[in-house]
Amino acid sequence: MARVLVLNGPNLNLLGSREPAIYGHASLDDLIARLAATAAAAGVELSAFQSNAEHELINQVHAAKGNGIDAILINPGAYSHSSIALRDAFLAVELPFVEVHLSNIYNREPFRHHSYLSDIAAGVIVGFGPLSYELGLEALVRRLVAR
């Protein structure tokens, strides 16, 4: 059974109450529960981790292969726009990953238009709210099946 790790970066623990006009009303737990149901239907084992700390996300990326993870779905939050360290972690482990964002980062402030992860991701999905995660998972599953 394929194993996918879902990583969520800083402030995503506040989903549901955080800027709902931008990020919606669903909590992170709601989002992960729905994603887990989609994963189970696709025969994929899902694990999820959220942290507000850059090093904890990096440690999860480092540990992923050893933990039997086949691919990573990540919403890096604001670390997308700042973290060369997270980029280097993905380059180091060579695991396929999809970057997702709830909001369309390209129609927001200019500082959100660049991500340090996008060019090394298998793909990027932005702007569809929680559906971004579902679409990202679907893309990863198809990739894993095709390999």
Residues that bind ligand DQA (CB under 6 A): 11, 75, 77-78, 80, 101-103, 105, 112
Catalytic-residue membership of 81: no
- Residue 58 CA, chain-centre distance (Å), reads 13
Catalytic-role residue among 23, 79, 116, 133: 23
Backbone angles phi, psi at 16, to 5 degrees: 105, -40
Q: How near is the Cβ of 36 to ligand DQA at its closest, in Å?
A: 19
Tell me how far apart the alpha carbons of residues 35 and 108 are, in angstroms, rounded to a whole number: 26
Catalytic-role residue among 79, 101, 116, 133: 101
CB-based contact 93:120 (threshold 8 Å):
no
User: Which of 69, 130 has the CB closer to ligand DQA?
Assistant: 130
Q: How near is the Cβ of 14 to ligand DQA at its closest, in Å?
A: 9
Q: Output the CA torsion sign for 73, 1, 37, 49.
A: negative
User: Which of 2, 133 has the CB closer to ligand DQA?
Assistant: 133
Tell me how far apart the alpha carbons of residues 27 and 32 are, in angstroms, rounded to a whole number: 9
Catalytic-residue membership of 101: yes
User: Which of 105, 137 has the CB closer to ligand DQA?
Assistant: 105
> Mind telling me the catalytic residues?
23, 101
